[in-house]
Amino acid sequence: MVTPLLYALISGFKSTDQLSTNTFGLPSPWVWENYGDILGSSGFWRSFGSSVVIALGTTVLTVGAAALAAFALARFAFRGREVLFTLFAVGLMFPFAAAIVPLFVMLRTMGLLDNPWGVILPQAAFGLPVTIVILRGFFRAIPGDLEEAATLDGCGPLGFFWRILLPMARPVLGTVSVLAVVGSWNNFLLPLLVFSDQTWWTIPLGIQQYQGERSADTARIFAYLVLAMAPALAFYAVAERQLIGGITLGATKG
């Protein structure tokens, strides 16, 4: 897995001629301008900022809504609870591409084209199933005695959820947040569908545009790809232990 990433990183320091004559060797000389020019361009940072805003909005909305839904599905007994949870679980098998045409029509009707909410809301909706499944498994494993003790101390359901359950679920919340951020950062099809104005183009769309403009300059395309991947890879590397631990915790408790 590291080999293609390392190859792209080193290739970004070469010229296109070097890629033809020295495909797998080290650059000679090192072409630092490939990365420097991209980091100095406003288009890259505009796409970067759009991706950050959309990823954060998607994560907050997904985790917030899923936490409330998982709490209700795990701690309250009501008619149709298991049927409702099964519907969310079935959402795991529903491909996003199958909804692309009706989704476009709905977003156009709602006036959300060329609007970041046109990406954030669908991404949050499609992220709910896996987030609810993970969080519900953890919430159900919290002992009922703990909730009874909180009730005796005057803590209502929302107070128990906010003051006790969420702090205890911090590892699992970190897990689903990582999944939401990385999924939003790598999403290409939905931003391509929603944004025609370059103002809100995300990193994947910026890669497509840059590749189209500089199709003959392969080395700079490699440099752009590496810089586009770097934030998601860095975030995942930092949160990798949290991600694995949270998924395992939710699975075993479920």
Among 72, 76, 235, 247, residue whose Cα is nearest residue 173: 247
224, 207 Cβ separation under 8 angstroms: yes
pLDDT of residue 118: 95
Q: Per the structure block, which two tokens stand in for 28? A: 């000679």
How is 182-236 classified by DSSP, letter by letter? HHHHH--HHHHHH--SGGG--HHHHHHHHHHHTTT-HHHHHHHHHHHHHHHHHHH
Longest CA–CA separation in the chain, Å: 76
Handedness of CA 213, 217, 218, 224 (dihedral sign): negative
E-strand stretches of 37-123? none
pLDDT in tens, the chain (254 residues): 788 889 999 999 998 888 888 888 888 889 899 899 899 988 899 999 999 999 999 999 999 999 999 999 988 888 888 899 998 888 888 888 888 899 999 999 999 999 999 999 999 999 999 999 989 988 888 888 787 888 887 788 888 888 888 888 888 888 888 889 989 998 999 999 999 888 899 999 998 988 888 888 888 999 999 999 888 888 777 766 666 655 555 444 44
pLDDT score of 59: 95
8 A C-beta contact, residue 184 and residue 123: yes
Q: What one-letter code names the amino acid at 68?
A: L
Contact call for residues 20 and 208 (beta carbons, < 8 A): no
